[in-house]
Amino acid sequence: MPQSPHVEKHFTASESVRDIVIGMSDGLTVPFALAAGLSGAVASSEIIVTAGLAEVAAGAIAMGLGGYLAARTDAEHFVSERAREEQEIEDVPDKEAAEVADVLRSYGLEDDQVETVVSSLCSDKRRWVDFMMRFELGLEEPNPQRASRSAFTIALSYIAGGLVPLAPYFFIRSIHSALIGSVVVTLLALFLFGYIKGRFTTAKPFRSAWQTVVVGGLAATAAFIIAKAIG
């Protein structure tokens, strides 16, 4: 009987999704809280739009730069650890071979199998170092384009998220009406974003959606109350 081919359905773009989540979640929440807070303290939608756009620009730059530096740090850490591992293989090969054997035993290999694999693996220093980096240190070599790609993704996601809560203030002159519009569109966006994020990262997308809405709503409510009290 012919069998249908097995298709792997594992998700492999976790780094890009993480960058989008970082940028979009802050982009939706921070300008939302800022706009809500200003709505309780000022009487001009133009001021809110100006302040909001300034915050989105500054936030996108700061978040993008933070993503770039984090990715660069990961790359530099990998290079440093690989150089240290290569030196250890040169200086104490017996100890490093014993560590390979320990790793293999932790996966259930018998001693006779371990000896064969260790002998084969340690005959090629590059493969030996690759093995130690992955299975002893748990490090994967970063993509050389990761830093710039991460910065761009985070910054763009922040801008996209930040424009959502500000949009009603572009078209509605009444602060009260614009605030209501901002609350509605932002909470809907937070719910949709949380659901999509949950589809990729958890088995319960609706729980992720409601958690995202609650966090964003609490941030905006706190900002509004504080601004109203101060004003």
Model confidence over 152-173: pLDDT tens digits?
A: 999 999 999 999 999 999 988 8
Q: How far is residue 59's CA from residue 227's CA, in Å, rounded to a whole number?
A: 20
Which has more pLDDT, 41 or 101? Answer: 101
- pLDDT exceeds 80 at position 58: yes
Q: How far is residue 193's CA from residue 161's CA, in Å, rounded to a whole number?
A: 10
* Tokens, residue 200: 């990729």
Residue 163, helix vs strand vs coil: helix
- Average the pLDDT over 68-79 and give the result: 89
Q: How far is residue 15's CA from residue 38's CA, in Å, rounded to a whole number?
A: 35
Most confident of 112-121, 183-192, 212-221: 183-192
Residue 10's pLDDT is what? 46
- CA distances (Å), origin 85, targets 10, 21, 73, 95, 98: 31, 34, 18, 12, 14
- pLDDT exceeds 60 at position 140: yes
- In contact, 113 and 50? CB cutoff 8 Å: no
- Reported as a pLDDT band with limits 50, 70 and 90, residue 223 is low
* Tokens, residue 192: 């949709």
Question: SS3 sequence, 87-128?
Answer: HHHHHCHHHHHHHHHHHHHHCCCCHHHHHHHHHHHCCCHHHH
* Tokens, residue 110: 């018998």
- Reported as a pLDDT band with limits 50, 70 and 90, residue 198 is confident
Which has more pLDDT, 5 or 20? Answer: 20
The helix/strand count (H/E) of the chain reads as 8, 0
- Reported as a pLDDT band with limits 50, 70 and 90, residue 99 is confident
| pLDDT-wise least confident of 4-18, 64-78, 204-218 | 4-18
Residue 13's pLDDT is what? 52
Model confidence over 201-211: pLDDT tens digits?
A: 677 888 888 88
- Reported as a pLDDT band with limits 50, 70 and 90, residue 147 is confident
Which has more pLDDT, 139 or 185? Answer: 185
Q: What is the pTM of this model?
A: 0.76
Residue 3's pLDDT is what? 54
Domain boundaries, the chain: 14-74+148-230, 80-136
- pLDDT exceeds 80 at position 111: no
C-alpha angle with apex 106: 104 to 109, nearest 5 degrees?
50
Residue 228's pLDDT is what? 65
Q: Residues of the chain with pLDDT > 90: what percent?
A: 17
Q: How far is residue 115's CA from residue 117's CA, in Å, rounded to a whole number?
A: 6
Q: How far is residue 80's CA from residue 59's CA, in Å, rounded to a whole number?
A: 31
Sequence-ordered list of residues with C-beta below 8 angstroms from that of 228, at least 6 positions apart, any chain: 40, 41
